[in-house]
Amino acid sequence: MAANMYRVGDYVYFENSSSNPYLIRRIEELNKTATGNVEAKVVCFYRRRDISNTLIMLADKHAKEIEEESETTVEADLTDKQKHQLKHRELFLSRQYESLPATHIRGKCSVALLNETESVLSYLDKEDTFFYSLVYDPSVKTLLADKGEIRVGPRYQADIPEMLLEGESDEREQSKLEVKVWDPNSPLTDRQIDQFLVVARAVGTFARALDCSSSVRQPSLHMSAAAASRDITLFHAMDTLYRHSYDLSSAISVLVPLGGPVLCRDEMEEWSASEASLFEEALEKYGKDFNDIRQDFLPWKSLTSIIEYYYMWKTTDRYVQQKRLKAAEAESKLKQVYIPTYHFYHLTLYFIESSKPNPNQISTSNGKPGAVNGAVGTTFQPQNPLLGRACESCYATQSHQWYSWGPPNMQCRLCATCWLYWKKYGGLKMPTQSEEEKLSPSPTAEDPRVRSHMSRQAIQGMPVRNTGSPKSAVKTRQAFFLHTTYFTKFARQVCKNTLRLRQAARRPFVPINYAAIRAEYADRHAELSGSPLKSKSTRKPLACIIGYLVEKRFLPPSEIHPSKKPNIIRSTPSLQTATTKRMLTTPNHTSLSILGKRNYSHHNGLDGM
């Protein structure tokens, strides 16, 4: 019963989609609608998968800075699996509110501000536990450090200097040190000091009676006397005593100079009624976030003035009245609500057939859930193609229930345990191939030399398809190759002035001017009309080729016998046949290709040009 009772302030899971992970929210209010349904006003939390990659890089940078300053377990001491799962526990707080039906609650969780003195492993050891350290603004897409962090650690401790010896001079800059404003060992008694303070209050009351603006705000003598009794008047009186070395006659003369009595005002008197109303409205919206209050409501006020006014405002009757109104309003609202257990397929030994069917459940042709053994046997071949695949997260082949996961064309599935992990934490238990490459110290996808050899799924961070074995495999694509015609190869050699291959390769999206190539070929063809180009070069005799091989040490001299033909010639065809072309290769000084064949000019018969 207690587990199904949800109260204001609880962190809960909300389900807005059957295939997406749960939403994590904090209940602020529970309201009953006119139709009798219960709606929850909640604060939104966001996962890493909900923000952009640029903001994720900023969050990782912030986490590294915290690790360098803390003395707890750093991320370098964690395994790849722990690093992967730790990212699923990180959330981002927001100031955004929304209303959701209470019937969509799927359980409780715990969210806490990241404690720098606590090990990050403590969040992994606890179920349904999350942490946050940054605030995300979905409207402007920014991340800011939470102002409510607990300042614990060496960087927040004061550096106590060594005690000065007798006669040693203080080398510190005196202007940055505190200023003495009161001496407790004064020659005046406590009664004399109290009498001087009474005189200061009387002078302040008389000064307010003479001031026109103050007489409008405090029309009665009682209100003027109450305003003159505030701390600002007493601080001015005590400071005056100290500056005049506790001489009462000299201090009283300063309270009433020639121009009239001194009037001391604090923030409560300086602020107008409209400014006070704006402050109360801002406090209702932002709470004690004084930076946002100043930025959005009171930009003409300083931050010091706003903070000082807040603590003075808490001593007024206005604050007491608002507090009573909020308490009465809270009494009329719901304090808790009972939500029955949602019968999605939980980690139990029994399947609840009366539960609402999940559209992601993989069932057989008869409509019942899948068998206990997820692997396809030899006696039963289900019609569903997903049955028989291993779990995309843990690679298990047996589960009491399977769920389809990912895009439909990928045909991926998860077991019951990994499906519940996906719903709660928004990721898979085991890192995918792309995440392993990110965690490893090997070159990343930004390196162009590595990016060309990576798969499209690994570069874009898509889930890698599993074909049923623990080894992940990428979905194959249809192979293709570009076939160059003989006329294109011929144009590369003839039209070198117009067709600049190196410049064209650097700009692959700029079209090539075929008309200019045709014009250059026509001019070259007219110049060479008397001596037409030969498409193939004339082969040299076999004796010359063997001599060249011996000279270049491609063929040992011991294997050459002048009295008989080499063993490489098995038949009597001429040297122009295809068989001889394959067996005899003309050496050149250029680099050999992958297949060890002739270079480009020899291969295309253009070596004689």
CATH code of 194's domain: 4.10.1240.50
Give 173-223 pLDDT, tens digit per residue.
888 888 888 888 889 999 999 999 999 989 888 888 877 776 666 667 777
Choose among 227, 232, 250: nearest CA to 240: 250
Where is the domain boundary, 286, 319, 344?
344
Choose among 164, 272, 257, 172: nearest CA to 213: 272
Q: Return the residue matching tokens 């019609």.
A: 383
3-state SS of 267-330 is HHHHCCHHHHHHHHHHHHHHCCCHHHHHHHCCCCCCHHHHHHHHHHHCCCHHHHHHHHHHHHHH
In a domain, residue 289? The reply is yes
In a domain, residue 597? The reply is no
Residue 191 DSSP SS3: helix
Q: In angstroms, rounded to a whole number, what is the distance separating the alpha carbons of residues 401 and 420?
A: 11
Residue 326: what pLDDT? Answer: 82
Choose among 161, 159, 111: nearest CA to 132: 111
CA dihedral sign, ordered 53, 58, 63, 67: positive
Please determine, for residue 412, whether its predicted confidence score (pLDDT) is greater than 60: yes
Please determine, for residue 149, whether its predicted confidence score (pLDDT) is greater than 90: no
Residue 387: what pLDDT? Answer: 55
Percent of the chain with pLDDT over 70: 69
Average confidence (pLDDT) over 84-103? 91
In a domain, residue 152? The reply is no
pLDDT band at 240 (very low <50, low <70, confident <90, very high): very high
Q: What is the CATH number of the domain that holds 296?
A: 1.10.10.60
In a domain, residue 608? The reply is no
Residue 569: what pLDDT? Answer: 45
36 and 117 both lie in a single domain = yes
Residue 134: phi and psi, rounded to 5, are -125, 155
pLDDT band at 254 (very low <50, low <70, confident <90, very high): confident
Q: Which of 7-11, 359-363, 475-479, 504-508 has the highest mean pLDDT?
A: 7-11
Where is the domain boundary, 528, 551, 582?
528
Choose among 365, 460, 430, 363: nearest CA to 402: 363
Q: What is the CATH number of the domain that holds 393?
A: 3.30.50.10
202 and 130 both lie in a single domain = no
Whether the Cβ atoms of residue 12 and residue 342 lie closer than 8 Å to each other? no
In a domain, residue 340? The reply is yes
Q: What is the CATH number of the domain that holds 85?
A: 2.30.30.490
What is the secondary structure of 32-101 as a DSSP string? E-TTS-EEEEEEEEEEGGGS-HHHHHHHHHHHHHHHHH--S--GGGS-HHHHHHHHHTEEEEEEEEEEEE
Please determine, for residue 132, whether its predicted confidence score (pLDDT) is greater than 70: yes
pLDDT higher for 127 or 444?
127
514 and 418 both lie in a single domain = no
In a domain, residue 133? The reply is yes
Give alpha helix (H) positions in 414-468: 416-425, 433-439, 448-451, 456-460
127 and 188 both lie in a single domain = no
pLDDT higher for 26 or 407?
26
In a domain, residue 187? The reply is yes
Nearest 5°: CA angle at 483, between 481 and 485? 175
Q: In angstroms, rounded to a whole number, what is the distance separating the alpha carbons of residues 211 and 220?
A: 13
Whether the Cβ atoms of residue 233 and residue 200 lie closer than 8 Å to each other? yes
Please determine, for residue 504, whether its predicted confidence score (pLDDT) is greater than 70: yes
Please determine, for residue 11, whether its predicted confidence score (pLDDT) is greater than 90: yes
For residue 112, the surrounding DSSP H or E stretch is: strand 105-113
Choose among 167, 166, 139, 132: nearest CA to 48: 132
Whether the Cβ atoms of residue 133 and residue 146 lie closer than 8 Å to each other? yes
Beta bridge partners of 26: 11, 43
| Beta-carbon contacts of residue 382 (< 8 Å; ≥ 6 apart) | 364, 365, 370, 376, 388
Q: In angstroms, rounded to a whole number, what is the distance separating the alpha carbons of residues 337 and 334?
A: 7
134 and 205 both lie in a single domain = no
15 and 106 both lie in a single domain = yes
Give 376-403 pLDDT, tens digit per residue.
333 334 445 555 678 888 888 888 889 9
277 and 220 both lie in a single domain = no
3-state SS of 409-427 is HHCEEEEHHHHHHHHHHCC
261 and 278 both lie in a single domain = no
Burial 373-384 (b: 16+ CB within 10 A, else e): ebebeeeeebeb
182 and 129 both lie in a single domain = no
Choose among 323, 400, 409: nearest CA to 369: 400
108 and 239 both lie in a single domain = no
141 and 10 both lie in a single domain = yes
3-state SS of 478-499 is CCCCCCCCHHHHHHHHHCCCCC
Q: In angstroms, rounded to a whole number, what is the distance separating the alpha carbons of residues 161 and 163?
A: 6
The domain total for the chain is 5
320, amino acid identity: V
Please determine, for residue 580, whether its predicted confidence score (pLDDT) is greater than 90: no
Residue 12: what pLDDT? Answer: 95
Q: At what angle do helices 248-255 and 190-210 cross, to 10 degrees?
A: 10
pLDDT band at 465 (very low <50, low <70, confident <90, very high): very low
Residue 600: what pLDDT? Answer: 43
Whether the Cβ atoms of residue 53 and residue 70 lie closer than 8 Å to each other? no
Average confidence (pLDDT) over 101-110? 92
Give 521-552 pLDDT, tens digit per residue.
888 777 766 555 454 556 678 888 887 777 76
Residues in the chain: 609
Residue 471: what pLDDT? Answer: 40
Residue 419 lies in domain: 388-434
Q: Which of 10-14, 228-232, 429-433, 443-447 has the highest mean pLDDT?
A: 10-14
Q: In angstroms, rounded to a whole number, what is the distance separating the alpha carbons of residues 290 and 282?
A: 9
Residue 360: phi and psi, rounded to 5, are -90, -5
Q: In angstroms, rounded to a whole number, what is the distance separating the alpha carbons of residues 255 and 358?
A: 81
Number of H helices, E strands in the chain: 23, 11
Q: Give whole-number Cα distances, 422 to 8, 363, 406, in Å.
A: 26, 20, 11
Whether the Cβ atoms of residue 374 and residue 397 lie closer than 8 Å to each other? yes
Q: Give whole-number Cα distances, 410 to 375, 463, 465, 475, 531, in Å.
A: 18, 9, 7, 8, 61
Q: In angstroms, rounded to a whole number, what is the distance separating the alpha carbons of residues 515 and 496?
A: 14
Residue 405 DSSP SS3: strand
476, amino acid identity: T
239 and 281 both lie in a single domain = no
Distance from chain centroid for Cα 347? 31
- Max alpha carbon distance in the chain (Å)? 139
Please determine, for residue 250, whether its predicted confidence score (pLDDT) is greater than 80: yes
Q: In angstroms, rounded to a whole number, what is the distance separating the alpha carbons of residues 6 and 10?
A: 7
Give 317-370 pLDDT, tens digit per residue.
888 888 888 888 777 777 788 888 765 444 333 333 334 667 888 875 444 444
Q: At what angle do helices 303-313 and 273-286 cross, to 10 degrees?
A: 90
Please determine, for residue 563, whether its predicted confidence score (pLDDT) is greater than 50: no
Beta bridge partners of 552: none
Give 269-283 pLDDT, tens digit per residue.
888 888 989 999 999
In a domain, residue 255? The reply is yes
Please determine, for residue 7, whether its predicted confidence score (pLDDT) is greater than 70: yes
Q: Give whole-number Cα distances, 605 to 463, 574, 591, in Å.
A: 49, 18, 17
Residue 464: what pLDDT? Answer: 46
pLDDT higher for 561 or 6?
6
Please determine, for residue 442, whether its predicted confidence score (pLDDT) is greater than 80: no
Beta bridge partners of 405: 412
